[in-house]
């Protein structure tokens, strides 16, 4: 695998000496530590009512030949999260598992995270296993999240699975008026097994690097990602507090030869494009303790209105054929080529949340919208939470999808949904 110039640049910055500052070292006497083991988790009992949008090509595709003709559907499931953590001196081990029950049958655990870590020195740490990373400063979107699992913008806080990787992190503090901290991280990602479910190509191993600086009160990251047969990505992000109650953040990513799927002549095709995706946002806390988050996201490989309409027509033509083989192949092609939660180019995200409104103890309310600036469709959702007892929470979550029939949110398979969550923690 060839060495990229950005790698050389990062290493040069790291080891050439940051002469603008004077570092300091001091020794802390080691204390005997006892091994600590901690377990925690939660059970989410979820029940929802959904109003179907039967004319939607997505609805017709997902419910083809199911015999369903109801305008309202219900959905219930149990989500169980079980986490464990072990630490002793320099060694740590973390496990996060997920189980989902929807109907009778075998329930296999999914490991969201499963890795071991080692503090080699006070400045250098390393680890290996399946781990979740959090690159980027955005709340709902992360164009520089090269090693992240893609967020669901409708629920950015949802726990997701990590990736199998090995990593290291070097961190150093400085006595300087400008530079307070610097760290360098490297991640090595082997490709998932392709042959006999055990083997993969060694030269398809991915590498991701991140260089972090704390300059004054500004967090700054430079990052890159490289893997054979995948787009090269170079990114930058920042975050800073302009005032004690106002934070601004941003991310910029340049992607070279990024594959973009589109429909032409009733066929899904793919082309490679190069360009920039970016995000700018803010987080503001009012005097009334109301938190406001606003973000604008530009998706370089997103579809325009005409291209998205072509996708809907492609799905509609397959459904009109009534041929199960055509429908099955169309579903397979669509889900494999359009693996994204943001189909189009420009989005605006706004969230407002308020703890204990009207002096109602142990409660919270919130609302958010994701507005598609290209076709003027949007989703609007409200959240009402209540925690009357320790380790228990009730959540009411109604959501509306609105727009023209050929728009992104107006073509969703459901018009509205209302979910209730009962959450038990331990």
Residue 308 lies in a domain: yes
Q: Could you tell me which of 126, 255, 254 has the C-alpha nearest to residue 185?
A: 126
Cβ 51 vs Cβ 413: under 8 Å = no
Q: Is residue 14 part of a domain?
A: no
Radius of gyration of the chain (CA): 24
Q: Does 304 map to a domain?
A: yes
Q: At what angle do helices 305-321 and 324-337 cross, to 10 degrees?
A: 150
Structure token digits, residue 350: 């706004």
In a domain, 29, yes or no: no
Q: Nearest CA to 370 among 393, 411, 333, 400?
A: 400
Q: What are phi and psi of 380, to 5 degrees?
A: -130, 125
Q: Kindly state whether residue 30 falls inside one of the protein's structural domains.
A: no
Element holding 365 (H helix, E strand): strand 363-372
The per-residue pLDDT for 65 is 87
* 8 A C-beta contact, residue 324 and residue 335: no
What are the counts of helices (DSSP H) followed by strands (DSSP E) for the chain?
4, 19
Question: Domain limits at 406?
Answer: 42-425
- Residue 180's nearest CA partner among 401, 22, 6 is 22
Mapped onto helix, strand or coil, the DSSP state of residue 239 is: strand
Pairing between β-strand 72-88 and β-strand 36-52 as defined by DSSP bridges: antiparallel
Is residue 15 domain-resident? no
Q: Return the DSSP state at 288.
A: T
**Three-state secondary structure call for residue 139:** coil
Number of folded domains that form the chain: 1
User: Does the CA dihedral 47-356-142-15 come out positive or negative?
Assistant: negative
Residue 2 belongs to a domain: no
CATH number of the CATH domain containing 253 = 2.40.160.10
pLDDT along the chain (426 residues), means of 10: 41 39 45 82 97 94 86 94 95 96 85 96 96 96 96 92 96 92 96 70 89 95 94 97 97 96 92 96 97 98 95 94 92 89 95 94 96 97 96 97 96 96 96
User: Do residues 171 and 123 lie in contact, with contact meaning Cβ atoms separated by under 8 Å?
Assistant: yes
Report the 10 Å Cβ neighbour count for 59: 19
- Single pTM value for the model: 0.88
Burial class of residue 369 (count of CB atoms within 10 Å of its CB; 0-12, 13-18, 19+):
middle
Report the pLDDT value the prediction gives residue 340, as an integer from 0 to 100: 86
Q: CB of 206 within 8 A of CB of 188?
A: yes
CB burial of residue 335 (10 Å; 0-12, 13-18, 19+): exposed
Confirm whether 413 is domain-assigned: yes
Neighbours of 362 (CB within 10 A): 12
């Amino acid at each position: 695998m060839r060495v990229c110039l950005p790698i050389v640049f990062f290493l040069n910055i790291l080891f050439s000496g940051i002469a603008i500052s004077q570092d300091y070292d001091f020794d802390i006497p080691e204390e005997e530590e006892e091994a600590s083991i901690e377990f925690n988790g939660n059970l989410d009992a979820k029940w929802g009512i959904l109003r179907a949008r039967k004319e939607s090509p997505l609805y017709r595709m997902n419910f083809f030949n199911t015999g369903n003709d109801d305008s309202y559907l219900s959905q219930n499931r149990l989500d169980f999260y079980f986490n464990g953590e072990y630490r002793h001196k320099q060694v740590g081990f973390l496990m996060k598992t997920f189980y989902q029950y929807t109907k009778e049958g075998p329930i296999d655990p999914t490991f969201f995270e499963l890795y071991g870590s080692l503090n080699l020195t006070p400045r250098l740490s390393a680890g290996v296993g399946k781990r979740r990373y959090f690159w980027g400063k955005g709340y709902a979107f992360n164009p520089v999240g090269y090693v992240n699992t893609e967020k669901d913008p409708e629920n950015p806080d949802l726990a997701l699975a990590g990736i199998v990787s090995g990593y290291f992190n070097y961190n150093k503090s400085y006595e300087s008026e400008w530079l307070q901290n610097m760290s360098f991280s490297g991640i090595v990602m082997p490709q998932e097994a392709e042959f006999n479910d055990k083997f993969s190509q060694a030269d398809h191993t991915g590498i991701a690097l991140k260089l972090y600086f704390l300059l004054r009160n500004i967090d700054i990251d430079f990052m890159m990602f490289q893997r054979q047969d995948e787009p090269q990505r170079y990114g930058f992000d920042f975050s800073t507090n302009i005032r004690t109650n106002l934070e601004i953040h941003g991310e910029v990513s340049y992607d070279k030869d990024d594959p973009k799927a589109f429909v032409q002549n009733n066929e899904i095709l793919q082309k490679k494009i190069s360009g920039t995706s970016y995000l700018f946002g803010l987080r503001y806390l009012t005097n009334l303790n109301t938190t406001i988050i606003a973000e604008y996201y530009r998706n370089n490989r997103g579809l325009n209105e005409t291209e998205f309409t072509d996708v809907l027509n492609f799905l509609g033509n397959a459904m009109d054929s009534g041929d199960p083989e055509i429908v099955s192949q169309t579903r397979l092609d669509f889900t494999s080529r359009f693996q994204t939660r943001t189909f189009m180019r420009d989005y605006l995200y706004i969230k407002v949340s308020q703890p204990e409104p009207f002096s109602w103890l142990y409660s919270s309310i919130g609302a958010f919208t994701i507005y598609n600036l290209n076709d003027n469709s949007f989703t609007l959702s409200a959240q009402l939470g209540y925690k009357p007892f320790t380790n228990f929470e009730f959540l009411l979550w109604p959501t509306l999808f609105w727009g023209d029939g050929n728009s992104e949110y107006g073509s969703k398979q459901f018009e509205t949904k209302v979910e209730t969550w009962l959450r038990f923690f331990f």
